[in-house]
Chains A and B, each alone.
Chain A
Amino acid sequence: MNRGDKFARIAALRPARRHVTESPAPCISETGTGGDRLAELLGARINRNNYGEHLSLLQWYATPEICSPDARSLSLLLPQSADLPASVNAAIDPRQWLFLDTETTGLAGGTGTYAFMIGIAWWEAGGLQVEQFFMRDLNEEHSVLLELAERIKLRPVLVTFNGKSFDWPLLETRYRMTRSFRDISPKLHLDLLHPARQIWRLRIGSVRLRDLEREVLGRDGRSLDWSRHDDIDSSLIPQMYFDYLRRGTAEPLVGIFRHNQMDLRGLAALAGKILALFDSGHGIANAPSAETHDAIDVLGLSRLMRKRGHSTRARELYETALRFGLPRSVERLAQRELAQLAKREMDYARAISLWDALREVPCRGKHKENGCPLAEDARRALEAAIDAAEQLAIYYEHRAKEPQRALDLIQAAIVELGEAHDSSRLPKDHTSRIQSRLLTRLLRLQRRCGATPLFRRSKARARAVDTTA
């Protein structure tokens, strides 16, 4: 029997069915292997060291320019720990920073994923020096890793975008697999994804680097010196590399080099922008006004401050953002969070004014007949109003010792919730949780006020409560 036949039947030898990628037609150059062709196309050179060879490309760009962080702003960027002052000292000189971005054979991580291109960048001679290492085949990895280790020793403050969860753990694994390197860790690692998310996700929705470039970096009146116009689709990168490995198809890789260069420049520009925002945040409370999109950025900043525990600074910024003027949905969020902050700092007057503002939901009764679910915004407004009622009730019950006012509020909230439930304005599973909370408070308040029970625990319908409407 034909053994080839036997192997042909084995499902395990067939690639997974859902793999649908169009690989470009093979075009092996006449001048030599794919690696040679690539070097030719890029103008890259061959690096040699103790562990072998690899391809390396050096480019210098005038922008983004070096930034000059101050200690206060920097401390907002660094991880919070007892060692913060020491970290700030280590990071204060931006010429010690090393930007890093890798291109890999997949997102699976683990030991079967390779970082076939490692791009690094640093500020030098008034501009950004970019160096890219490339493995022409998988056995060139060792020499690439040696170069990287040496660069990190020189500039031990690593700056990445999502590097803490992806790029660096992958590189650590690659180092471990070589069994030759020890202590290659940088002194500090700044991952800009987290602050970027906290500041800009509200306004932009996503936090992909190219979206940030477009919406944040490119908006200052200065446009970026590079364009993502015909940037490659990064999900195709692994397959492009595999095709190159198997067939020597070098042309698409030029696009990967370009993509990586733009990522590194974007990263450097982002670092500058974040620090500038922190800097300006210090003085912003006095600014008279700003465009709306800046106001949302200020809000993002205030949330970051709040998360870092700088409540006073955060409150200042929240107030500023509100003063600048925010779109309704975002304004509500700001009001809710500021109210919580104010409450925690015992500034009840401010908290109450915010909660009262949230209670003013336009046209509440108008949609009673309409059975269709309302737009997202109206839903959120209603939720916020009910939540504000609850917060006010908590205040009146426990702080102001005015249980009757609390009771009124809770009853109103239950009515609103019931209406929302009936007209399907809020999803059912959601309302039941809120409902049980409100009912618990209601019963307790009723006992304290000595009021006659108006509700049975199992019903949420507010038939007898016209008095509060």
Chain B
Amino acid sequence: MRRLAVAALGLGLVAGAAGSVLTAPASLPPETLAALAAHPADATHGEAVFWAGGCASCHAAPGVAPSGPLEPRLILSGGRRFATPFGTFVAPNVSMDPEQGIGGWTQAQFAGALLLGVSPEGAHYYPAFPYATYARATPQDVADLWAFWQGLPADATPSQPHDLGFPFSIRRAVGVWKLLNLNADPVIAVGDDPVLQRGAYLVEALAHCAECHTPRDALGGLNTAAWMAGGPNPSGEGRIPALPPQGWSAQDIANYLQSGFTPSFDVVGGEMADVVANISRIAPEDRTAIAAYVMAVRSSPSP
């Protein structure tokens, strides 16, 4: 056992020396920082980005009911646990508390977290935080979201540590994961239709549907060749269905995202209940756009 540990340590040092440049956390390019600074931030639009991005699904306190009042969904004190094959991730406090949350952050630090998965201290976040999706968000949406975020309440609940086994406990290794999985390229080419383009943006950059509806490879990266093909639940029992669900129309999908009712009037459950609690708060035309995109996925050739 001790020899194994020494061998692993030795291998780690060699790999670390070779990979330290490749795995170092990146920083935002100057044009992104300039676009962030130049945008007149709109907190009202930021709220729409907040619901489309589903931030509250993970960062609201455990036990906040999807159909309950709005206020608890806006207290981003963290604490929800996500058991995965790599260990258990615990959503951190991202409320505006300056000590326990992110109240002391700058707009650029917020953007770095969202678009690159990098903390203000320059460490990698684990991709349970779906920054590989948010990487596609526009700087304008990020600036609006931050403007909205700054008006959210502070909560002093301390963040809990993740519970991960070796080697996933090595944060620096996330740099390798990012090399494989982090890019801002569109996944599905949807052409010129503005509704489909809007739907693609909402799904691929904000709503992160694929984080559950697309199967993952051995390292936890999304298998984009099987985009929205369904797969094992990444954080629990059972399977996540393929999209679009068989026999559903675009109107059925839009209705479901608004009301939680399936076409046969079953009612949404599991993680999806929280998704509906968020997506039901965005504009109806955005739900229509998501539905149009989801319908287009089936006939589109995957990359």
Do A and B share a complex? Answer: no
Q: Give the B-binding residues of A (Cβ under 8 A).
A: none
